[in-house]
Chain A
Amino acid sequence: GENVEQHPSTLSVQEGDSAVIKCTYSDSASNYFPWYKQELGKGPQLIIDIRSNVGEKKDQRIAVTLNKTAKHFSLHITETQPEDSAVYFCAASAGRRALTFGSGTRLQVQP
């Protein structure tokens, strides 16, 4: 089955700096790569996703890049703000299969 590895496990940045979280996946059949944000006491919520026919996608301060050859994808957050502090999960799926998640990154943005 699919295996998703995520790094780093914790990340601390100063407000206004950029943050990058990286994931690798093992199943070359995977074609859908979402990123979820989980705030304290809440369930994960989708913030951005990318499909295998696209190399990069951007939504305001958030961007995701995908390298299918190397089987890795990354989340980039620019101009970080304190409200970006949360746990972020990457995930991957192939076709109709369930999502396989990475182990999570706790992002702390220092004011």
Chain B
Amino acid sequence: DVKVTQSSRYLVKRTGEKVFLECVQDMDHENMFWYRQDPGLGLRLIYFSYDVKMKEKGDIPEGYSVSREKKERFSLILESASTNQTSMYLCASSLVDREGTEAFFGQGTRLTVV
């Protein structure tokens, strides 16, 4: 059974803290993604990675960075958390296919910044 696992379901952090969200996939997928989900806005792409140590900015990268040192692990970093980063964060992975392919999602991390 394919699996994308996010390290935390719920997190509460203080403004200004450095926050790490971890994601691991066991499907040997090349692509990994971080999305942010907010009511009425759908899922918005923060960053994605198509290979180890490779990354590309998505639509809303400001205030975030990522790290992919191993193929199975993709980390999202909030350098200095702010209240407007309170949201649901979803990690996903997929194979590389020029015809498009299914993305598998983790269960999400609900982050609250106070």
Which A residues contact B (CB, under 8 angstroms)? Answer: 1, 4, 6, 9, 31-32, 34, 36, 41-46, 49, 51, 89, 91, 93, 95-96, 98-104
13 contacts between A and B (CB under 8 A): A31-B99, A32-B99, A34-B100, A42-B107, A46-B104, A89-B42, A96-B96, A98-B58, A99-B33, A100-B45, A101-B44, A103-B41, A103-B42
The CA of A41 and the CA of B50, in the complex, are separated in Å by 27
In the complex, chain A residues whose CB is within 8 Å of the CB of B103: 34, 46, 99
Instruction: Evaluate contact between A43 and B106: CB separation under 8 angstroms.
Output: yes
In the complex, chain B residues whose CB is within 8 Å of the CB of A32: 99-101
Interface string of B23-42 (1 = CB under 8 A from A): 00000000101010000111
Known contacts A89-B42, A102-B42, A103-B41; A41 and B107 CB within 8 A of each other = yes
In the complex, chain A residues whose CB is within 8 Å of the CB of B35: 101
Give the A-B contact count at a CB cut-off of 8 A.
Answer: 64
Which of B59, B90, B98, B102 is A43 in contact with, Cβ under 8 Å?
B90
Q: How far is the CB of A63 from chain B (nearest CB, A)?
A: 18
- Please name 10 further chain A to chain B contacts, defined as beta carbons within 8 Å, in addition to the given A31-B99, A91-B43, sorted by A numbering: A34-B100, A34-B103, A36-B105, A42-B107, A43-B106, A44-B105, A45-B105, A46-B103, A98-B48, A99-B45
Q: Which 6 A-B pairs have the closest CB atoms?
A: A32-B100, A43-B105, A101-B43, A103-B42, A101-B42, A98-B48
Instruction: Evaluate contact between B42 and A31: CB separation under 8 angstroms.
Output: no
Instruction: Evaluate contact between A51 and B100: CB separation under 8 angstroms.
Output: yes
CB-CB nearest in chain A for B59: A1
Q: How far is the CB of A30 from chain B (nearest CB, A)?
A: 9
**Which residues of B (76-114) have their CB < 8 Å from a CB of A?**
90, 92, 96-108
In the complex, chain B residues whose CB is within 8 Å of the CB of A49: 100, 102
In the complex, chain B residues whose CB is within 8 Å of the CB of A1: 59
Instruction: Evaluate contact between B50 and A96: CB separation under 8 angstroms.
Output: yes
